[in-house]
């Protein structure tokens, strides 16, 4: 009788496992539970195994004990109430009539990407927010990457790429930290300083990414000063300190400003904005991305907890339209740092932000202030109180 029962149980498990992506894809409990689509099911009569949540529900509860990981990754998006406490306007626009509404509603191609437009790439560098230690600064990376692309578009992909300083935003933006930020905040901060000071965000070469903010506890962050002052906006160090070459905060430095920003949602608005003016930053559900390797993700998603930059879209003969998205987890991840997600999936279309570049320092603009190696002729007048 026991042998018969074992055979029946094995048969049920085998039937559930047929054509089950979780069963074929994950052999360990840890890998199974790390996948939001899967459940790990135990049965005394047969080996434990991984099943899709749908198939797991169909297994007899009297025989199988199934569990799934209910815990989500740490959200890198602040709730609306917390964002507004920081002064961020929820889904804000810099003008009463957004210039997005004035964009021409032309017939759009079925495939389009700024990373390969007429054989030219207008996409700037891929970034990794997780080194030299973990920092939940996706909100900054998504916005800065999209803006960098738009500057490259404005330059017609000529000249050396301009890569903007994420760390400047972390040090001075006041719209988020390594423990989370907002989709709207980065461009609102940059527009504000662009209007008030005429100087915008500095370049990566004057302020490298440290993956630290004032509240960070990871790695070496507790030893790092990230307060907003001249030396943490743009700096250079002339020589080793014992040789009399201290670091100087710069009062004049390469920077980029914006003239306008806005918030949009929905596939039609996203496509119109991307096609006409360039990549945008958008919120997304990152849980299904954790173990992503390649292909088109079709998960509906649960909630927005991450920010990415969307550079275009494509059309698959089987899966239909999909978005081409740059993440900020490095090029070892996904499709060389990018992923594809089906239209309507992962909440990618819920909330996006865009910005219009204004002035930026570039060789062709003849607007560089020429500083010495040690920065002595460009030193900020007040190193401690300089705040943007």
Q: Which of 103, 63, 77, 66 is nearest to 273 (CA)?
A: 103
Q: Which of 211, 75, 207 is nearest to 133 (CA)?
A: 211
Distance, in Å, from the CA atom of 119 to the CA atom of 181, rounded to the nearest integer, reads 35
Tokens of 119: 């054989």
Mean pLDDT of 151-155: 98
Query: Are 268 and 236 in contact, with CB atoms under 8 Å apart?
Result: no
Q: 240 pLDDT band (50/70/90 cuts)?
A: confident
Q: 223 Cβ partners below 8 Å, 6+ apart?
A: none
β pairing state of 38-43 and 46-52: antiparallel
- Peptide bond before residue 238 is cis, with ω within 30 degrees of 0: no
pLDDT in tens, 114-137: 999 999 999 999 999 999 999 999
Give the residue carrying structure tokens 């461009």. Answer: 187
Pair 189, 289 in one domain? yes
Pair 109, 17 in one domain? no
The mean pLDDT value of the chain amounts to 91
- What is 82-105 written as a DSSP string? HHHHTTPPTT--SSSS-GGGGS--
pLDDT in tens, 247-274: 899 999 999 999 999 999 999 999 999 9
Task: Tell me what pLDDT residue 145 has.
Answer: 98
pTM for this prediction: 0.81
Range of the domain at 11: 2-67
Pair 44, 184 in one domain? no
Which among 22, 138, 178, 371 is annotated as catalytic? 138
Pair 192, 300 in one domain? yes
Q: Determine whether 327 is an active site residue.
A: yes
Task: Tell me what pLDDT residue 178 has.
Answer: 98
Task: Tell me what pLDDT residue 294 has.
Answer: 97
Q: 14 pLDDT band (50/70/90 cuts)?
A: low
Q: Determine whether 370 is an active site residue.
A: no
Pair 288, 355 in one domain? yes
In percent, the amount of the chain with pLDDT more than 70 equals: 91
Q: 9 pLDDT band (50/70/90 cuts)?
A: very low
In percent, the amount of the chain with pLDDT more than 90 equals: 76
Q: Determine whether 23 is an active site residue.
A: no
B/e letters for 251-278, b = 16+ CB within 10 Å, e = fewer, are bbbbbbbbebbbbbeeeebbbbbbbebb
Task: Tell me what pLDDT residue 380 has.
Answer: 94
Reply yes or no on whether the pLDDT at 386 is more than 60.
no
Lowest mean pLDDT: which of 239-243, 292-296, 325-329? 239-243
Domain count, the chain: 2
Pair 264, 140 in one domain? yes
Which among 282, 306, 352, 378 is annotated as catalytic? 306
Which among 55, 232, 287, 327 is annotated as catalytic? 327
Half-sphere exposure of 43 (CA within 13 A, CB side): 24
Pair 54, 85 in one domain? no
């Amino acid at each position: 009788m026991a042998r018969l029962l074992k055979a029946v149980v094995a048969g049920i498990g085998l039937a559930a496992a047929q054509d089950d992506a979780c069963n074929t894809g994950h052999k360990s409990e840890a890998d199974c539970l790390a996948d939001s689509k899967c459940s790990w099911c135990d049965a005394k009569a047969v080996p434990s195994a991984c099943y899709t949540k749908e198939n797991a529900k169909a297994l007899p509860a009297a025989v199988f004990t199934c569990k799934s990981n209910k815990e989500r990754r740490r959200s890198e998006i602040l709730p609306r109430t917390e964002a507004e406490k920081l002064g961020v306007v929820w889904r804000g626009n810099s003008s009463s009539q957004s210039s997005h509404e004035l964009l021409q509603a032309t017939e759009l191609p079925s495939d389009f990407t700024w990373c390969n437009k007429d054989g030219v790439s207008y996409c700037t560098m891929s970034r990794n927010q997780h080194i030299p230690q973990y920092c939940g600064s996706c909100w900054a990376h998504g916005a800065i990457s999209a803006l960098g692309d738009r500057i490259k578009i404005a330059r017609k992909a000529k000249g050396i790429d301009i890569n903007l300083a994420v760390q400047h935003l972390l040090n001075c933006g006041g719209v988020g930290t390594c423990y989370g930020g907002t989709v709207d905040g980065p461009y609102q901060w940059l527009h504000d300083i662009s209007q008030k000071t005429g100087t915008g965000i500095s370049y990566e070469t004057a302020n490298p990414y440290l993956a630290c903010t004032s509240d960070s506890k990871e790695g070496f962050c507790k030893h790092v000063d990230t307060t907003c002052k001249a030396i943490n906006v743009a700096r250079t160090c002339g020589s080793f300190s014992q040789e009399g070459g201290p670091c100087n905060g710069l009062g004049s430095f390469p920077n980029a400003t914006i003239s306008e920003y806005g918030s949009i949602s929905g596939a039609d608005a996203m496509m119109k904005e991307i096609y006409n003016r360039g990549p945008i930053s958008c919120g997304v559900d990152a849980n299904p991305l954790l173990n992503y390797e390649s292909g088109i993700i079709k998960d509906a998603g649960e909630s927005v907890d991450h920010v990415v930059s969307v550079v275009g879209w494509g059309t698959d003969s089987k899966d239909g339209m999909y978005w081409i998205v740059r993440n900020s987890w490095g090029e070892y991840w996904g499709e060389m740092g990018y992923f594809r997600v089906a239209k309507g999936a992962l909440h990618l279309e819920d909330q996006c932000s865009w910005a219009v570049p204004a002035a930026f320092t570039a060789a062709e603009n003849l607007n560089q202030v020429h500083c010495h190696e040690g920065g002595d002729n460009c030193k900020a007048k007040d190193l401690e109180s300089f705040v943007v």
